[in-house]
Amino acid sequence: MSDTDTTYLLRGVRVLGADPADVLIRDGVIAGIGPGVSADGAEVVDAAGLIALPGLVDLHTHLREPGREDAETVASGSRAAAVGGYTAVHAMANTDPVADTAGVVEQVWRLGRDAGHCDIQPVGAVTRNLDGAHLAELGAMADSIAGVRVFSDDGKCVSDALLMRRALEYVKAFGGVIAQHAQEPRLTENAQMNEGAVSDRLGLAGWPAVAEEAVIARDCMLAEHVGSRLHICHVSTKGSVQIIRWAKSRGCDVTAEVTPHHLLLTDELVESYDPIYKVNPPLRTAEDVEALRGALADGTIDCVATDHAPHPIESKETEWSNAAMGMVGLETALPVVQRTMIDTGLLDWAGVAERMSATPARIGRLAGHGRPLRVGEPANVTLYDADVRREVDPVNMTSKSGNTPYRGMTLPGRVVATFLRGVPTVLDGKIQ
Amino acid sequence: MRHLLSAGDLSRDEAVLVLDTAKELAQVGDRSVKKLPTLRGRTVVNLFYEDSTRTRISFEAAAKRMSADVLNFSAKGSSVSKGESLKDTALTLQAMGADGVVIRHGSSGAARRLANWVEGAVLNAGDGTHEHPTQALLDAYTMRERMGRLEGLRVAVVGDVLHSRVARSNVLLLHTLGAEVTLVAPPTLLPVSVGTWPCAVSYDLDEVLPKSDVVMMLRVQAERMNDAFFPTAREYSRRYGLDRDRFARMPDDAIVMHPGPMIRGMEISAEVADSPRSTITEQVANGVSVRMAVLYLLLGGSESAIGNQEG
Ligand SMILES: [Zn+2]
């Protein structure tokens, strides 16, 4: 890792796609922006043609440590995050042991700090051991050194309505938010893929859209009733979008995220029975994909979250119903968003910065991240080359796991450099 | 045709070729020496992850009648039950030089997955709730034998369509062969997108029966009764069971089929099952001929199916 005192001059970079300028990074902050900025002794980075974005923030990353270090560790996951242009990620709580106490969240937080590639912000479980029945010590996790603000039983739905109400109310005391994995458990017993024509053809038990939508509708009503903040994880259906739009129009304080894979891939891919496409929530239809893109563009869906879910190869090279659910996503998120939102004209780069940095940082109450690239702000910066195209090959990935659904696909763009508080974690695409 | 994974993989010509070849091969069963040299030197592996003695024996008899070497690989008590993955098993079969693998598996798509990992032909002998194409072929064969045709034949498929690999394969194959299929079931036992399938749908068995040339009863698994797919066995039987009164409402020459094993009394009354218009035992015999035809067409090669008589 470089010395924090090093000064960097990003020469000719496009800040949010504006005219090329020079950006000076010194002492961990942005010290100057403009044409012809210069500084003696600065290390010059030729950034001609590159886009500068505020360092990306992920609300939804599975780092697998503690418990499944064969799939990913905090260190390997934070390296993958840096390579993907992230400067902060929220580590989901469904580890083993579950991150449901101050001790576990502090452990994850320290591992992240020691690795130093990216800020690791632990998410706390809503219920003890994700049992869905007893609240975890939310306040202790909030008060811990990790300063937890996002609570989620992700992987499982908080399906008990009364418990969900209590959780929403309780976290108001410290500005927390409940991030709900919306999945009605009875409607999705044994579910294997999106319920519809493809599941019927393939003889795989269906996962109906209504199982997600019914929980979102209920939770929006609960959040509105008790005046709490609610966040909906990985929205995947058109109906969910409509419900969230309606809830926002009523004044409900609800935010929502969508994953890159739900913006690009459809359930038709499951025809291969290749479990690389097995994910929770499942890949949906082209109509859902279109609705999700539209909702991300118009702000109904607030942000992009990766739901990075690493698994070792043997968990995927098996029969569909035995295979693990999930896909890695940190290293491909920005390219997939470019392809689905920029190249389609649905968003500009300022819109991407909003949805992949500022908004997730705001939802997660993450000070120092998601800040605009302005003089005096922390130098969390991602330099991105939007003009290249690359074939995705799991062999070249930094994550410990290679379960990417984009294998063999050509995607646009490449993260050239990532700066965390002025220190490059990635330079020329390589981890530092 | 390299594998047989889905009844939908067969074109009309291919399906007819299987049925015609099966007819030719059926004659072998009538001879004193029930054996052909056609697949001598070929190895067929029966890879059964689910117990199904009937299906396994049918495939085994088919392969042996054509002189193939047969290896039975049952998941129970093998390395499979010790956690060996399907892929590792596939690599083992590959090393043994299996020319064909007949796979029965509880997981939909397992046959398709296996086909990625072995060089030999893969025959789907039932995968989860997906398909069972040789069952559909033997059903079509039986219908053609009994009714003399398939084109325009009106076939009612009755019962738990949702969980039935037999129903899925039958709808695809019978549509390809020009028959008109009507699925009859309570809405809880029909797939949500059944409206997009190449068949008609009814909730009313009494209305469909008089217009049916073939009534195919499906197996109802006991666990469905405990899971609110229908209220009670008695109500199911009243609405969708084939009893004597309903049987009387079928056209005089209409036949009754069942893939077996059947639940007498609930799905079908004993007297209907044992009537001369029931094809249940023929279906078993025809299964061997059809499976011989499929093995021959996938593994055989250039000789005629009957080949040169030896002995
Ligand atoms: Zn989730």
Percent of chain A with pLDDT over 90: 95
pTM of the model: 0.92
pLDDT at position B263: 74
Mean pLDDT of A17-36: 90
pLDDT at position B259: 76
Give A169-215 pLDDT, tens digit per residue.
Answer: 999 999 999 999 999 999 999 999 999 999 999 999 999 999 999 99
Q: Which CATH superfamily is domain A8-51+376-431 in?
A: Urease, subunit C, domain 1 (2.30.40.10)
Residues in chain A with CB shorter than 8 Å from the CB of B131 are: 203
**Number of C-beta neighbours around residue A166 at 10 A:** 16
pLDDT at position B79: 62
Nearest CA in chain A to B84: A318
Instruction: Please identify every residue whose CB atom is under 5 Å from ligand 1, which is an ion.
Output: A 154, 181
Q: Which residues does A contribute to its contact with B (CB < 8 Å)?
A: 192, 195-197, 199-206, 208, 272-274, 314, 317-322
A55-363 CATH pick, 3.40.30.10, 3.20.20.100, 3.20.20.140, 3.30.70.20: 3.20.20.140
Q: Do A203 and B86 touch (CB under 8 A)?
A: no
Per DSSP, the three-state class of A156 is coil
Q: Do B107 and A195 touch (CB under 8 A)?
A: no
pLDDT at position B83: 64
Could you tell me the residue ranges of all domains in chain B?
A: 3-131+284-300, 133-283
Q: Do A317 and B87 touch (CB under 8 A)?
A: yes
Please report which helix (H) or strand (E) contains residue A43, including its range. strand A43-46
- pLDDT beneath 50, residues of chain B: 302, 308-311
Distance from CA of B244 to the nearest CA of A (A): 33
B3-131+284-300 CATH pick, 1.10.10.10, 3.30.360.10, 3.40.50.1370, 3.40.47.10: 3.40.50.1370
- The ipTM of this complex is 0.87
Model confidence at A5, pLDDT cuts 50, 70, 90, reads low
Could you tell me the residue ranges of all domains in chain A?
A: 8-51+376-431, 55-363
pLDDT at position A2: 45
Question: Is there a shared CATH topology between the A8-51+376-431 domain and the A55-363 domain?
Answer: no
pLDDT at position B96: 87
The CA distance from A299 to A352, in Å, is 11
Catalytically annotated residue among A307, A385, A387, A428: A307
Question: What would the two tokens of residue A360 be?
Answer: 């997730």
CA–centroid distance, B66 to ligand 1, in Å, is 53
Give B67-93 pLDDT, tens digit per residue.
Answer: 999 999 877 666 665 567 889 989 988
Going B294 to B300 to B305 to B306, the CA torsion angle's sign is: negative
Phi, psi angles (nearest 5°) of residue A374: -135, 160
pLDDT at position A38: 79
CA–centroid distance, B209 to ligand 1, in Å, is 47
pLDDT at position B82: 58
Residues in chain A with CB shorter than 8 Å from the CB of B192 are: 195-196, 200, 206, 208
B309 is annotated as contributing to ligand binding: no
B133-283, what's its fold? Rossmann fold (3.40.50)
Mean pLDDT of A53-64: 98
CA–centroid distance, A192 to ligand 1, in Å, is 15
Binding site, annotated residues of A for Zn(2+): 60, 62, 154, 181, 234, 307
The CA distance from A232 to A215, in Å, is 10
Q: Taking CB atoms and an 8 Å cut-off, how many pairs form between chains A and B?
A: 64
Q: Do B194 and A200 touch (CB under 8 A)?
A: yes
Mean pLDDT of A130-149: 97
Most B CBs within 10 Å: which of A268, A272, A285, A319, as the mutation test of the B interface? Answer: A319
- Is residue A326's pLDDT more than 70? yes
Q: Do B87 and A202 touch (CB under 8 A)?
A: no
B165 is annotated as contributing to ligand binding: yes
Binding site, annotated residues of A: 60, 62-64, 94, 154, 181, 234, 280, 307, 311
Nearest CA in chain A to B112: A273
Average pLDDT along chain A = 96
Mean pLDDT of A61-87: 97
Clarify whether A143 is annotated catalytic.
no
Beta strands in A155-229 (DSSP E): 177-180, 193-194, 206-207
pLDDT at position A401: 96
pLDDT at position B201: 98
Question: Is there a shared CATH topology between the B3-131+284-300 domain and the B133-283 domain?
Answer: yes
- Is residue A4's pLDDT more than 90? no
Per DSSP, the three-state class of A424 is strand
CA–centroid distance, A120 to ligand 1, in Å, is 18
* A412/B243: higher pLDDT: A412
pLDDT at position B265: 73
